[in-house]
Amino acid sequence: MSRNVRHRRFAVAAAALGLVASVWLAAGLRTLDPASEIGVLEGPRAGPFPRLATGSWTLAPPGLARLVRLPRDAQEVPLPSAEDAMLPAPDGTRYGFRGHATVRVRPESWKAAAAAAGGGQ
């Protein structure tokens, strides 16, 4: 095999690898509205994760990182099965809750909020 053929094959392989890497990185571009969302990048335990996402664009390449979006404003969430929990009162009676709870993420507690949202390996 001549040197030119090997060089050409290497160049084609490098270009294909570069194209695949570019598509992979482009698939990880995410938009974020900093006025209404807190973004947390999560990934493997080793490395810079979790990390607070700042700005309106962030990069979370598939398989390497994921973006957890948390609302900045208070949200009303249902209390499923809370009525069945039947908590004990100080006088010995038991009671349950019904309805909704209003929760808000404190910006300084973004790590704990992301872990509670299903991340935080």
The 8 Å CB, 24+ separation contacts for 110-113 are 110/38, 110/40, 110/50, 110/52, 110/70, 111/40, 111/50, 113/38, 113/40, 113/70
Tens digits of residue pLDDT in 45-78: 656 778 898 889 999 999 888 899 999 999 898 8
Cβ atoms of residues 61 and 25 within 8 Å: yes
Look-up of token digits 């709870």? 101
Single pTM value for the model? 0.67
Tens digits of residue pLDDT in 72-116: 999 898 877 776 777 888 898 888 777 888 989 998 998 888 888
